[in-house]
């Protein structure tokens, strides 16, 4: 079976009546993949599994009995919800999305409709979704839930486990009615305000089942934003492909979800961390195209965030804290999709992010319909010469790169900056 089957329709409903302001202002968020698979960390039965570790149950064809056995020693004594929420704040993130249940079927919350939960199957016994929700509330972060609505490898009626169960005998509606919908209801009713819900791999789900899910979400949380992976074009915001940044600005609400290395869940085998420079460049790319950047960390089985991952996020946040105004609450300003520079806008200002310094210290931008008033580096307020000629708007930069990661130049216009379309 091809992977295409997992994704389905990715368009969204553009006539949202929900409150979307917080979401369009937020720009940067924390995704957390954490579960029993974090304990396997890329290894099962003497074999290494490079790549996405949250799939280890399927990739190693672990049966449900052996997989459940691992819960008996899942005891995340280093887990500190406040510290994780604080890390998100320090990184400059505005909401947080946690894997309440991934494809392995294990609930990281106290579910009444399953025994396969952190509260019943582990010695830890505490509800970590609850702890994170409270921590987010305390720190002023919006809170979101990841829930794998189709794939559930622990249930014979869930989708995806074809090594232990016979897919032809699966009653998917029964799984939906008895596990997915009740668990989603629990999450929507017991965990305060849920800002957004991230469904995944719509795959085989039928339209009337998607409607059931959507109605369930909206009955209990009318303002909860639903991602496009609910399927059938019934989501409120587009989730692009995993780790995908679009080449052009997109209409409507959208999000790029990105991993810190090459796995979502923690793996011992993967130390391919994106540096703060790479993260900031990708954030700029996403925000300049009008999207949100949902950046993933994979805590270890003991609940701690890998030190290097946390350190890099704090460095990222340090840079962002200098240029907040150029990021949060802005709108995209498309300058032709250059990799060296990109821009956002607010009011009569363009915020220009220069990622690579031009060789001749001269930056040619498209012409604008309105006049430029002045340009200056955002941090030092130091003036930058701006002029226009027949071809372009020209910025004359100092010889040296201003900010090693990305320099931010504010250009003020007469009115709202608008790139001229006439040639």
Q: Which stretch binds ligand H79 (CB under 6 A): 8-16, 51-59, 313-321, 372-380?
A: 51-59
In the list 55, 154, 159, 351, the residue contacting ligand H79 (rule: CB under 6 A) is 55
Residues numbered 6 to 35 that lie near ligand H79 (CB under 6 A) are: 6
Q: Which of 59/156 has CB closer to ligand H79? A: 59
Task: Tell me the CA end-to-end span of the chain in Å, nearest whole number.
Answer: 49
Q: Which of 149/201 has CB closer to ligand H79? A: 201
Residues numbered 178 to 207 that lie near ligand H79 (CB under 6 A) are: 200-201
Kindly give the pairing relationship between strand 142-147 and strand 196-198: parallel
Q: Which of 54/155 has CB closer to ligand H79? A: 54
* CA–CA distance, 148 with 394 (Å, rounded to integer): 49
Q: Which of 201/288 has CB closer to ligand H79? A: 201
Q: Which of 264/357 has CB closer to ligand H79? A: 264
* CA–CA distance, 259 with 240 (Å, rounded to integer): 13
* CA–CA distance, 185 with 189 (Å, rounded to integer): 6
Examine residue 62 and tell whether it contacts ligand H79 (CB under 6 A).
no
Q: Which of 226/363 has CB closer to ligand H79? A: 226
Residues numbered 95 to 114 that lie near ligand H79 (CB under 6 A) are: none
In the list 5, 11, 19, 51, the residue contacting ligand H79 (rule: CB under 6 A) is 51
In the list 27, 53, 54, 276, the residue contacting ligand H79 (rule: CB under 6 A) is 54
- Minimum CB separation from ligand H79 for residue 285, in Å? 19
In the list 2, 3, 65, 359, the residue contacting ligand H79 (rule: CB under 6 A) is 3
- Minimum CB separation from ligand H79 for residue 410, in Å? 35
Q: Which of 242/383 has CB closer to ligand H79? A: 242
Residues numbered 139 to 158 that lie near ligand H79 (CB under 6 A) are: none
Question: 94 with 327: CB under 8 angstroms?
Answer: no
Q: Which of 261/330 has CB closer to ligand H79? A: 261
Question: 350 with 333: CB under 8 angstroms?
Answer: yes
Q: Which stretch binds ligand H79 (CB under 6 A): 46-54, 281-289, 338-346, 352-360?
A: 46-54
Partners of 353 in beta bridges:
342, 408
Q: Which of 109/264 has CB closer to ligand H79? A: 264
- Minimum CB separation from ligand H79 for residue 69, in Å? 22
In the list 29, 30, 40, 52, the residue contacting ligand H79 (rule: CB under 6 A) is 52
- Minimum CB separation from ligand H79 for residue 145, in Å? 13
Residues numbered 238 to 257 that lie near ligand H79 (CB under 6 A) are: 242, 257
Of 241, 234, 235, 323, whose CA–CA distance to 287 is shortest?
Answer: 323
Q: Which of 7/220 has CB closer to ligand H79? A: 7
Question: 165 with 156: CB under 8 angstroms?
Answer: yes
Q: Which stretch binds ligand H79 (CB under 6 A): 52-60, 113-121, 365-373, 404-412?
A: 52-60
Which residues, other chains included, contact 338 with Cβ-Cβ below 8 Å and sequence gap of 6+? none
Q: How many residues in the shown chain lie near ligand H79 by CB under 6 A?
A: 12
Residues numbered 258 to 277 that lie near ligand H79 (CB under 6 A) are: 264
In the list 10, 20, 43, 59, the residue contacting ligand H79 (rule: CB under 6 A) is 59
- Minimum CB separation from ligand H79 for residue 272, in Å? 16
Of 67, 91, 7, 8, whose CA–CA distance to 295 is shortest?
Answer: 91
Question: Which residues in this chain contact ligand H79 in the complex, by CB under 6 A?
Answer: 3, 6, 51-52, 54-55, 59, 200-201, 242, 257, 264
């Amino acid at each position: 079976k091809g992977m295409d089957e997992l994704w389905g329709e990715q368009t969204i409903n553009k006539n949202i009546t929900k409150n979307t302001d917080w979401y369009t202002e937020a720009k940067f968020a924390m995704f957390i993949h954490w579960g029993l698979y974090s304990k396997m960390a890329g290894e099962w039965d003497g074999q290494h599994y490079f790549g996405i570790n949250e799939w280890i149950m399927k990739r190693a064809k672990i049966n449900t009995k052996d997989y459940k056995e691992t819960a008996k020693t899942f005891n995340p004594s280093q887990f500190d919800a406040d510290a994780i929420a604080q890390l998100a704040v320090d990184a400059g993130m505005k909401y947080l999305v946690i894997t309440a249940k991934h494809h392995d079927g294990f609930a990281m919350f106290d579910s009444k409709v399953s025994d396969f939960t952190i509260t019943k199957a582990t010695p830890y016994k505490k509800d970590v979704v609850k702890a994170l929700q409270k921590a987010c509330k305390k720190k002023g972060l919006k809170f979101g839930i990841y829930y794998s609505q189709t794939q559930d490898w622990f249930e014979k009626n869930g989708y995806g486990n074809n090594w232990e169960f016979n897919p032809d005998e699966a009653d998917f509606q029964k799984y939906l009615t008895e596990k997915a919908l009740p668990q989603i209801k629990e999450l929507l009713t017991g965990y305060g305000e849920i800002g957004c819900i991230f469904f995944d791999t719509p795959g085989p789900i039928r339209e009337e089942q998607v409607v059931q899910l959507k109605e369930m979400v909206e009955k209990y949380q009318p303002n909860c934003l639903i991602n496009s992976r609910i399927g059938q074009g019934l989501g409120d915001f587009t989730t692009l492909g995993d780790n995908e940044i679009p080449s052009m600005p997109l209409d409507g609400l959208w999000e790029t979800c990105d991993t810190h290395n090459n796995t979502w869940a923690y793996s011992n085998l993967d130390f391919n961390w994106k540096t703060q420079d790479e993260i900031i460049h990708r954030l700029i790319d996403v925000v300049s195209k009008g999207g949100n950047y949902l950046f993933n960390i994979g805590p270890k089985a003991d609940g701690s965030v890998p030190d290097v991952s946390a350190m890099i996020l704090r460095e990222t946040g340090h840079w962002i804290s200098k240029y907040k105004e150029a990021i949060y609450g802005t709108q995209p300003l498309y300058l032709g999709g250059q990799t060296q520079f990109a821009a956002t806008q607010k009011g009569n200002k363009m915020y220009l992010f220069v990622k690579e310094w031009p060789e001749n210290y001269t930056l040619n931008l498209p012409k604008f319909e309105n006049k430029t008033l002045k340009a200056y580096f955002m941090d030092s307020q130091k003036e930058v010469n701006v002029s226009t000629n027949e071809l372009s708007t020209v910025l004359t930069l100092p010889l040296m790169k201003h900010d090693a990661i990305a320099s931010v130049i504010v250009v003020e216009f007469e009115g709202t900056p608008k790139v001229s379309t006439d040639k």
